[in-house]
Amino acid sequence: MSDFRSDTVTQPTEAMKQAMMSAMLGDDVFGDDPTVNRLQETAAAMLGFEAGLFAPSGTQTNLIALMTHCQRGDEAIVGQQWHTYRWEAGGMAVLGSIQPQPLEHQPDGTIALAAIEAAIKPDDPHFAKTRLVVMENTTGGKVLPLSYMQEVSGLARRRGLRAHIDGARLFNAAVALAAQDGGDPVATARAICSGYDSVSLCLSKGLGAPVGSVLLGSREFILQARRMRKMLGGGMRQAGVIAAAGLHALEHHVHRLADDHANARLLAEGLVKAASAHPRLEGKLVVHPVQTNILFIDIDATVADDFLQHLAAHGVKVTSGMYGTARRVRWVTHLDISQRDVARALEVVSAF
């Protein structure tokens, strides 16, 4: 069985399990769980923030950030495909009374700076008050350039707005950017975050922890965010047992993300060859460029159902959905996908 559905399906490594079993514990609601405290401090130091807050999920850390930055009736500028807008059950509107202002993406995943500027409302009682600009990096596996991230944070500062990054796969972006210039991924991640007021970092995706995300910001921001976490039911007690996994991930699993990116490229190259070599797929399978660990292919509706059933019957798990007249299939490489898994998946595709 090869599970390409998501990088959330990873199992803790043996070393991570040992770290969890030996973690020192306290009561985090009282603030005295030493492992949680160390995780928060470590993440903040890595990315250049003053403080951090551990929470069960990235959906919650994003919502905590939005509700800490914004008051009822405020507005947050987001992307049409951002997780904060489309995939988090409308939490900012339902629970935070925050109005989302979604904007269309450009082909590279960015939102045009002019579009962001044009969406900022004047200070007028007829409008929701624009308070926050939200970025997502990576977005759909695409890396937003460092220069663009800096331009967005500069725009936010110039217009008196706050800026938040949904960095669920922030280190995937950093590893990809660092590979271009031979830089250090942690330093690159810190540079991506520079100028932003907060970032949500997921520990349970590419980094391989079983659960949890960290919200980072100033000490004052995190103090208010802790209240929001309590309000949203996110206070945990002896949370060090899971925080230890996140800490191990930060200390050992950042640089290895390059392996996932390499496997995604290997998969993409193999799918291109399969599509051109087999009459049944020729002209019916389009492989999109891959930058990190997420690969999309579009397969013609006339063969899509048979193709997906064939993958499932041979133990290759993927996710898919309709995209126009084709079915878009998502493949995600991760800690538990090896080169052998990629080779086997390509054999299954070739056999179709």
**What's the whole-number average pLDDT of the chain?**
97
Q: Within 31-76, where are the H helices?
A: 34-47, 58-69
pLDDT > 90? residue 279: no
Question: Which pTM was predicted?
Answer: 0.96
Specify whether the backbone of 197 is left (phi greater than 0), alpha (psi in -120 to 50) or beta: alpha
Specify whether the backbone of 59 is left (phi greater than 0), alpha (psi in -120 to 50) or beta: alpha
pLDDT at 258: 98
CA distance 225 to 63: 10
Retrieve residue 261's tokens.
């990116």
Look up residue 88 and give its DSSP letter. Answer: S
Helix (H, G, I), strand (E, B) or coil at 48: coil
Helix (H, G, I), strand (E, B) or coil at 266: helix
Cis peptide leading into 138, omega within 30 of 0? yes
| Crossing angle of helices 146-158 and 185-193, rounded to 10° | 20
pLDDT at 189: 98
Task: Report yes or no: 269 and 277 within 8 Å, Cβ to Cβ.
Answer: no
Retrieve residue 137's tokens.
């990096």
At 276, the pLDDT band (50, 70, 90 cuts) reads: confident
Task: Report yes or no: 28 and 340 within 8 Å, Cβ to Cβ.
Answer: no
Mean pLDDT, rounded, for 148-164: 98
Q: Is the pLDDT higher at 283 or at 35?
A: 35
Phi, psi for 132 (deg, rounded to 5) = -140, 145
Retrieve residue 175's tokens.
């590893």
> 134: how many CB neighbours lie within 10 A of its CB?
28
Domains and CATH numbers, the chain: 2-252 (3.40.640.10), 257-351 (3.90.1150.10)
Closest CA to 150 of 140, 158, 141: 158
Give residue-wise pLDDT tens across range 63-115.
999 999 999 999 999 999 999 999 999 999 999 999 999 999 999 999 999 99
Element (H, E) at 323: strand 319-323
CA distance 7 to 250: 16
Give residue-wise pLDDT tens across range 289-315.
999 999 999 999 999 999 999 999 999
Residue type, 330: R
Q: How many CA atoms lie less than 13 Å away from 197 in the CB half-sphere?
A: 22
- Most confident among 179-183, 272-276, 278-282, 336-340 (mean pLDDT): 336-340
Task: Report yes or no: 294 and 332 within 8 Å, Cβ to Cβ.
Answer: yes
pLDDT > 80? residue 280: no
Give residue-wise pLDDT tens across range 29-60.
999 999 999 999 999 999 999 999 999 999 99
Task: Report yes or no: 291 and 208 within 8 Å, Cβ to Cβ.
Answer: no
Helix, strand, coil percentages, rounded to 5, for the chain: 45, 20, 35
Phi, psi for 286 (deg, rounded to 5) = -115, 125
CA distance 231 to 62: 14
